[in-house]
Amino acid sequence: MSGVGVARQAGVVKIFDAHCHLQDRRIASVAPQLIRTALDSGVQRFVVNGVSEMDWHIVKQMGDEYPSIIPCFGLHPWYVNERSPNWFKSLREFLAETPGAAVGEIGLDKGAHAKNIDFGEQVDVFRQQLELAKVLEKPVSVHCLRAFGDLLEIMLSTGPFPAGVILHSYIGSAELVPGLAKLGSYFSFSGHLTSMKPEKAKKMLKSVPKDRILIETDAPDGLLSVKTSSSFPFPDVASTAETENQFGDSAAEATSLSKEGLNHPANIHRVLKYVATLLEMPEEELAELSFQNATRLFSYPGSKVNSDG
C-alpha cells in the first residue's frame, strides 16, 4: 500500500475529493483498492475526515501511509453523546502530532439522525472546535443539516475564518451563500445535491463565487441518485462495466460497493458531471477550478499540499 501515492497521469483530469471517509468501517477493508481506482481515474487527493475519538487513530494512520490523503480530526454532531471527558484534549493532541491535518468533521444537526442528541451540547462542542480551527489557522469541514440559521449566528460571533470553513455537501439556500462566503466559507458539493430540485440546485450553485466551489464524494455516503426533469436531464455517466474496462481489476471492489448503495471516491466524476451540467460549464473547467480552490485551501503551513498543485 505504501506505493500508492498521488496520481500523475498525462491526459487525466485532476480532481480533488474535498471530503470523504475512507476510514468508515463499511469500506475500510477495501480502502487500498478504492484509493488505487480513484488515483487511476485522476483523483489526486482525498480529504479524509474523522468523526469521533474512535476513528481518529485510523485517519492518522491513513494519512501517514498515503501521500494522497489529507487527514482531518473532529467530533461529528452524531457522536456528541459518545465523547469522553477528555475528548477536546485528545483532539488537540492529534492535531498537534499531525501538522498536515485539518479540522473536521464537525457541525450541527437538527435532522432525524440527531433527534436524541441535545442541540445545546452540539452547539458547545461545535463552537469549541470551530474556535480551535481558527486559533490553529486550519480549514475546518462542517456538517450542517436543518440548522443553517444557528450556523450563521455562531459563525458571525466567532468569525471571520481566513483559513476557510468547508460547508461539506452543501444543500442550503442560495440566499445564505453571500453571508457565509463573506465569513470565509467554501461550498463543497456531493451526490447529496440530487436531493434538491434541479432548478433550485442550479440557482444555488450559480450564487456561489467561483473561487469557493469544491467537489467531494462524502464516501461511503453521498451516492449520486438519478433525478431528471424536463429542464435538467441527468447527464450520462460511465457504467460499472465501462469503469472496470478502463481502470482494470482494481475497480472490482468499487463496482461491488456501488451495487450495494455505497459510495467511493472514483464516483466523484459523476458529481463533477452533474455540477458542471447545472453550472453550464465544461467538466474540465470545473475540475480545474475546484482543484485549484481545494489546493489553495489545503496549502496551510505543514500541509502535504503545495500551492502549485
Summarize the chain as % helix, strand, coil (round to 5): 50, 15, 40
C-beta separation of 223 from 261 below 8 A: yes
Q: Which positions make up the binding site for a divalent metal cation?
A: 19, 21, 105, 143, 168, 218
Helices (H), the chain: 31-41, 56-65, 87-97, 119-136, 148-158, 177-182, 198-207, 240-247, 252-259, 268-279, 283-297
Give the closest residue to 45 by CA, choosing from 89, 14, 11: 14
Greatest alpha-carbon span in the chain? 54
Q: Which positions make up the binding site?
A: 19, 21, 105, 143, 168, 218
Report phi then psi at 45, rounded to 5. -140, 150
